[in-house]
Structure 1
């Protein structure tokens, strides 16, 4: 059934304004009684787009997870990059991660909660990842999960859940997620916008929409915490809990009830976007980062922008960036991946040109050929494997840099993950904050190729049309 678009103004005027001061006071009190380490598994690096001062580990060894448990912060992230994995690869990875979390938790005698942070436009290996996590944790501990929380609200990116339907904001309109370009993703496509129906569709009917629990905006705005808590206490058999939200206050009210349910013995798995992590981690608001905060080195070198994402918003932002006079553009013809020798020559050309321009003090935008490589409808796995080869080549541009750029910006989730882990060789980064709403910045660790560099992780599907150009120009103005 098709759901109509809705105007932002009409929807938001329907709900009474929350008492944000009271809610803030209540959530802070409740978080003091939530004595668990929160481990966020991020299927690409953009999940830190709401937090700051938080560690991101790029591997899931027991030692790394052990370090996370020993931090003072209540929360840490593990970057899985699993949105770029095959189903078999993500199954193996999540089995390892869950087993290592249980081992590290037992070492530290600490309870934990796992949040599987996925895309706010509903793409990714769902329900595979959370099912593997559930099965592995239950097999290796005495924990039994009662249910799974689905909360894809992400205000900074214009993703709202209203009347159980998930919407993506385009200017002044809210478009049902199932009717956007994201629903047509070749690997992770879907048809439903109603989150219960979406979960039923993705689980191939294992969970039925009419049997799920729905946390309404009406009860959240009425602050009917007892009712919401009771709804959560009634959840069993790993059934799904759909959380409506149009503002952080809705997530905060829900979290108050959630913590109370946890403290009465309930266990939940989570598939959420980035907003829930900020609330459950008790992360404060922070102003957008300034150029002075990000550019610690006095350098005459240029900066580097790498554009890999092909979603519509990235293409629009790229076209806007082309209007800038402070950037030199280098196209990488990745379609040559089908001709290995030509592909190697093309990569060498791009690397040499990029090094030369950065050394000359020029800002460089390397972009992959804008037309998608299409092998046909029945070859999705082959396309995914070729995309990995392309991503490896894009990553090697950074790996082979001989000069330190003034900054690095990566556009697109998988692109930014591969550049962070493989190109920059980051093992642990700290989230400095955001340069624009929903656009996070890492400060790289001492072990990385360029220690302490500001690395801007620019999601493919986030930001205004002018954001990319404005960010580049801000960082490039001395």
Structure 2
């Protein structure tokens, strides 16, 4: 005999009395906001055959998996209750296990990696423990939800005289977390109960690694240079690479490539008719708000779509060239592209940038600092006022930046082992086997790695696959087969020995840039003319004061340069945010 909760029986009685003739279906769901918006929920439906027949088309449209639970109204709620019992217990036991590991002095990230590849893992363990390791309790699913759900479980078990020792203890653990003020944080925050009781920290900071040791530990590079294959494949691949550059530095790895600073349909038609392998559009969107950046990308993609329809036999791949330290408008710009051009087979995330010392190894993105590799999430770049983040693992970074819409567990990865042992064919096969709408990160520790990936990606495009790329500068040059040139010398620019003033402009406020400015002053201060632009006057004062400040600096710079003096123009070092205004 199936037993129903008193709450459900009361609701059913009300429906029978108030709405005679109504057909009632009990259909709890699982999957969260993301799957609800996609129509891919798991639904557990119960009710009379007549009621289920009437609602079947609606439930099917909302679900990826629709279970019809026999036993009448209440059976679906019973299945949902069992699911929540297991989910809550798995989160609580995961928190308990990680707290014990921390007390034992274990590296909690290594512990997590071991368990998730062993028999002790669970879906909840793999999904929630990364939140604990990152000390990130953004409420994708609030702790108080399990206070409620496990409360229902324990009340039902009490009325049915079924002792639930483990679920009851888990409920008390969530209650303790809620009582401590963490109820509206992510349910993974239940680990804080153990941290408070024991004084340990489960948060697992990734270690800073010796660069030489790490690079030597990797397999040998793919033995064949793919550059000739890239040139050959590009002859067959009709797709033009359209690079939307969010900052003027994106062209630093290419040469002999045209850059557009406006994107009218006429300009894009003219460009596409030439059928170039690549061209840049300088959006400078990193300097904009998310809303304005998204609107700008939509405007460009709308014009690009119209222009492409006016040119015969043209296709294109959009690259969102972003910062190699993971700053920029992701996923907003990618979402904007998709909203205009439609969903691609996969999003490609590739922030590798050798010239800047940015490496992605075992899904962790590193920033080189002299001889050391520092996890990106532990650098000053991760504390950026506009684009800050916590995760160094790119799978987790995607989840963090999409606010859980794309969970880390769903993100695919091209490993260095695959690049160096399988080559372009293995890359192609992996990309072709991704589910539609996937997100895939690319590991790379050398230009050869990047070239191998590019060759494999072109092969996949020739098989009909489409990609939206969010990458740093290195990807673009290898994707179109550009051979790097040596740094430009004064003679290449036609500069003679006659003394002329040089202009140096510094706008970035980050600590590394400030250190570079101080070093410049130390080494060249005896002859360098320095002009500081007041950010306060530009951003917070009247329009008249703003113009006066700009004119003052421009006039002084003209004076110094006219006298053949090297001149530094720099913004004042204080950070001005929206809260400052």
State whether residues 159 and 166 of structure 1, in contact with CA within 8 Å, keep that contact through their aligned partners in structure 2. yes
Question: Which residue in 1 is equivalent to 2:365?
Answer: 166
The aligned counterpart of 2:299 is 96
Q: In structure 2, which of residues 521, 529, 532 is the aligned counterpart of residue 328 of structure 1? A: 529
Matched, 1:258 2:258: no
- The alpha carbon displacement at 1:359 in A equals 1.3
1:206: Cα distance to partner? 1.1
Question: In 1, Cα distance between the equivalents of 2:400 and 2:383?
Answer: 14
In 1, the alpha carbon distance for the partners of 2:333 and 2:549 equals: 36
Q: What per-residue deviation string (whole Å, max 9, x for no partner) do you get for residues 166-194 of structure 1? A: 01011111111111111111111111111
Map 1:20-419; keep pairs closer than 5 Å: 21-71=224-274, 73-109=276-312, 110-138=314-342, 144-295=343-494, 301-322=500-521, 323-324=523-524, 325-337=526-538, 338-340=540-542, 341-373=544-576, 376=579
Q: Distance in 1 between matches of 2:305 and 2:496?
A: 41
Would you say the 8 A contact 1:212–1:241 is kept in 2? yes
Offset at residue 21 of structure 1 (A): 4.6
Confirm whether residue 5 of structure 1 aligns to residue 208 of structure 2. yes
Q: Distance in 2 between matches of 1:375 and 1:99?
A: 30
Bigger Rg, which one:
2
Whether contact under 8 Å (2:222, 2:419) holds in the other structure is: no
Question: Is the Cα contact below 8 Å between 1:160 and 1:168 reproduced in 2?
Answer: yes
Seen in structure 2, the aligned counterparts of structure 1 residues 346 and 93 have a Cα distance that, compared at 3 Å, is closer
Distance 2:576 2:295 in 1: 28
Deviation at 1:28, TM superposition (A): 3.0
- Deviation readout 1:189-220 (Å, 9 max, x if unpaired): 11111101100111111112112211110111
How many Å separate the matches in 2 of 1:305 and 1:285?
25
Whole-angstrom CA distance in 2 between matches of 1:287 and 1:331: 33
Q: Is the strand fraction higher in 1 or 2? A: 1
CA distance in 2, matches of 1:344, 1:98: 34
**Could you report, residue by residue, the CA deviation over 1:276-299 in whole angstroms, capped at 9, with x for unpaired residues?**
100112212211101011246898
Distance in 1 (CA, whole Å) between partners of 2:483 and 2:551 is 44
Once the two structures are TM-superposed, the CA of residue 326 in structure 1 deviates from its matched residue by 3.9
From the superposition, tell whether residues 223 and 99 of structure 1 become closer, same or farther in structure 2 (CA, over 3 Å). Answer: same
SS at structure 2 position matched to 1:77: strand
Deviation (angstroms), 1:19 = 4.6
| Structure 2 length-normalised TM | 0.61
How large is the Cα RMSD of the aligned pairs? 2.0
**Cα deviation code 1:34-93 (max 9, x no counterpart):** 221110000001111110111111111112222322346410000000001112211211
Name the one with the larger helix percent. 2
CA distance in 2, matches of 1:147, 1:95: 19
Q: 1:375 to 1:267 in 2, by over 3 A?
A: closer
Three-state SS of the structure 2 residue aligned to 1:17 is coil
Q: Decide whether aligned partners of structure 1 residues 92 and 339 sit closer, same or farther in structure 2, where only a CA change above 3 A counts.
A: closer
Partners of 1:184 and 1:360 in 2: how far apart? 41
Structure 1 CA distance for aligned equivalents of residues 387 and 578 of structure 2: 17
Unaligned runs of 5+ in 1: 139-143, 383-478
How has the CA–CA distance of structure 1 residues 300 and 264 changed in structure 2, closer, same or farther, with 3 Å as cutoff? same
